[in-house]
Structures are given as C-alpha cells and as structure tokens.
C-alpha cells in the first residue's frame, strides 16, 4: 500500500523576489489607527494610503509611476476632523475616491489626472448624518450615474 507523504502542489517550488528600492514606495507614514478595513486602495492610475496626520485624518494619493522615497511634505487629502478609517476608489472613474472617518462622515474627492500637486481640503461631496464612525466603504456597481460627478 503506497501512501503519499507530501501533498502535490504546483506552487510548492515557487519563490518570490524582492523588488529593487527604486520600484517600491518608501518612507510613508502609514496610519497606526487599527480598524477592520484596509489602509490602502489601488486602481489602474493611483495608489492611496491612509497616513498619520495631526489635527484630523488624511490620506495620500500617489500615481503608480511615482516610486522610491516619498518626501514627508508630499501633498495629502485632508478634510476630516477625525482619523480616516477606510478609503475606496470608484470602479467607474479612476479619479474619484471616497473616504470614511471617525468623525461620522463620508467625503468624495476628485483627484487630478496628474496626481496631487497641492493638498486637497475641499471634497466634491460631504455626506453627513451617520450616528457612528464610518469604518467600511464599498462602491456599489448599480449606483453609477455618469452625470453625478
């Protein structure tokens, strides 16, 4: 009676390689706020990450082509009075991103095609009325309206 000791897998001998430093994002102050959501969101144009900020919540939106060391003075998206808990790109428009915060609000932002050159402080839309903090965002596919934004 033959007995298989090792389970066969096509991924058994696959090993990853670390990218070079100039192909990575380095020196970004990722938020230490723990929540059940992700700290980043990616689409075909940008990568967005929730960062530590004094006086409220902020997140950084970088073009995918901007890799390497990110300067501490890089522009951020900041408009919440509490820490940002979740961010989500719109699946229909790569320049639209939503942010949910501990200040019980959701803000919709429009990122310029070239990326941020100055910090954004005024959202396109501010949704208020939640009784508790907004920790998880989800863009629904049926909610698309090309004339909305």
42 versus 30: the higher-pLDDT residue is 42
Pick the more confident residue, 14 or 63. Answer: 63
Rounded to whole angstroms, the Cα distance separating 99 from 120 reads 13
In the chain, the domains with their CATH numbers are: 21-140 (2.130.10.10)
Mean confidence (pLDDT) of the chain: 85
- Give residue 2's pLDDT: 64
For residue 5, what pLDDT is reported? 65
Task: Give the number of other Cβ atoms within 10 Å of residue 133's Cβ.
Answer: 16
Residue from 68, 76, 148 nearest 111 by CA: 76
């Amino acid at each position: 009676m033959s007995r298989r000791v090792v389970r066969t897998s096509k991924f058994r001998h696959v090993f990853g390689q670390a990218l070079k430093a100039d192909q990575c994002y380095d020196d970004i102050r990722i938020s230490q706020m723990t929540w059940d959501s992700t700290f980043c969101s990616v689409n075909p144009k940008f990568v967005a990450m929730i960062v530590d900020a004094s006086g409220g919540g902020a997140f950084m939106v970088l073009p995918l082509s901007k890799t390497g060391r990110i300067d501490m003075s890089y522009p951020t998206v900041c408009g919440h009075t509490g820490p940002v808990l979740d961010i989500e790109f719109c699946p229909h428009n790569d320049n639209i991103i939503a942010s949910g915060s501990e200040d019980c609000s959701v803000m919709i932002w429009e990122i310029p095609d070239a990326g941020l050159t100055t910090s954004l402080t005024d959202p396109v839309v501010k949704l208020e009325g939640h009784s508790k903090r907004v920790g998880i965002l989800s863009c629904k596919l049926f909610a698309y309206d090309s004339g909305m934004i």
